[in-house]
Amino acid sequence: MTTPPPGDSVVLAAARVVTDAGVLAPGWVRVEEGLIAGVGEGTAPRAATGADAVDLGDATLAPGFVDLHQHGGGGAAYTDGPDAARTAIAAHRRCGTTSMVASLVADTVDRLEAQVRALAPLVETGDLLGVHLEGPWLSPAHRGAHDPARLIAPTADDVRRLLAAAPGTVRMATIAPELDGALDAVAALSAAGVLAAVGHTDATLDQGRAAVAAGARVGTHLFNAERPLHHREPGVILALLEAPEVVVELIADGVHVHPAMVRHAAASAAGGFALVTDAMAAAGAPDGAYRLGPLQVEVAGGVARVAGTDTIAGSTLTLDRAVAFAVREAGLAVDTAIRAASTTPADVLGRTDIGRLAPGARADAVVLDAALTVTRVMRAGAWV
């Protein structure tokens, strides 16, 4: 295999190329000046053979992964400022995630405001797609790894304050729709162009439907930290699954959700599903003691839990492993799992320039071998 670094123009040829329309087998992608200039089926064009051609052989060329929900990685957390954020970004890029949203856990409004401002420069440069406020507007009954002392009901003033901390930086916020003022907050977020997500909630079916009607468009880590499905009171999970406007997040790591439920949700989500990591600092780092916001976390055997409890505290997952788990354990088709980790989350964010191998998109790509292991990562036309 020839592997020259991509310059102004390079063609990547692979046994399989995953696109929006289907899998090209074989296929090729032309990269010019950091953008995708062409995609085709069959062998690479004759003009592309030679020094500017990279034959990836029996590999799958996938779009760069897009993670809607992660708290850190590589031993670093997004709550610890820009330098720590860069460490986390680099750790996930090495595993194929070329675009990501930084998630913040519940904290005081003062601290969240400061954290949003600290991350704003990385959003401006495109290193982050935005910030996700996972808290403080969550249910104490389903708080998960969030400090109950930091949980509050949303107010118009707090919503305005956090959005104004660094305009355009907050891209998504998770809300429990049963809280006082929650539906007004969902509507306000939607009106401001911010994704309202439903999660960490004890909402009923009707409350979940009301949140969707108010503008909620994402289900935060479906099944986790929310009222479970029940045959007499279906609860919020069914409201999210049946809404064609809503994309549900799934953490496919074998810890958060059983593979059979991953398969069921993938098949039944009317609005589609996105694979996310919900990764905390220990993703791509050794077991040990970490922090998730204000909480102490212990990681053992790759599973993160709030110290001294059985409560899961995010994950140590990376999106390449989520894709492999969804295929091997949940039985999803390879291209279905790849799109759930790339195109679908990009679409949720309204970004047609990432998460896809299509002309005009940024040249973000992941090379996967037969075992779905990442062997190479390209971002904006350059190998990571």
As annotated, the active-site residues are: 278
By C-alpha distance, which of 163, 219, 164 is closest to 194? 163
Is the bond leading into 121 cis (omega within 30 degrees of zero)? no
Q: Which two tokens stand for residue 150?
A: 């930091």
- Measured over the CA atoms of residue 373, residue 65, residue 98 and residue 276, the dihedral's sign is negative
Beta bridge partners of 102: 70, 131
DSSP per-residue codes, 203-263: --HHHHHHHHHHT--EETTTTSSBPPP-SSS--HHHHHHH-TT-EEEE--SSSSS-HHHHH
Evaluate whether 151 touches 135 at the Cβ level (below 8 Å): yes
User: What's phi and psi for 22, nearest 5 deg?
Assistant: 155, -170
Whole-angstrom CA distances from 139 to 177, 205, 251 are 9, 16, 20
Read off the amino acid at residue 236: V
Amino acid at 203: A
Cβ–Cβ < 8 Å for 282, 290:
yes
Please choose, from the candidates 63, 61, 51, the residue with its C-alpha nearest in 3D space to the C-alpha of residue 28.
61
Tokens at 202, concatenated: 């004890």
286 phi/psi in degrees, rounded to 5: -70, 165
Pairing, β 170-175 against β 195-198: parallel
Residue 6 token pair: 């991509």
As a whole number of Å, the CA-based R_g of the chain is: 20
Q: Give the burial string for 286-325 (b: 16+ CB within 10 Å, else e).
A: eeeebbbbebebbbeeebbbbeeeebbbbbbbbbbbbbbb
- Among the listed residues 265, 260, 264, 259, the one whose alpha carbon sits nearest the alpha carbon of residue 246: 265
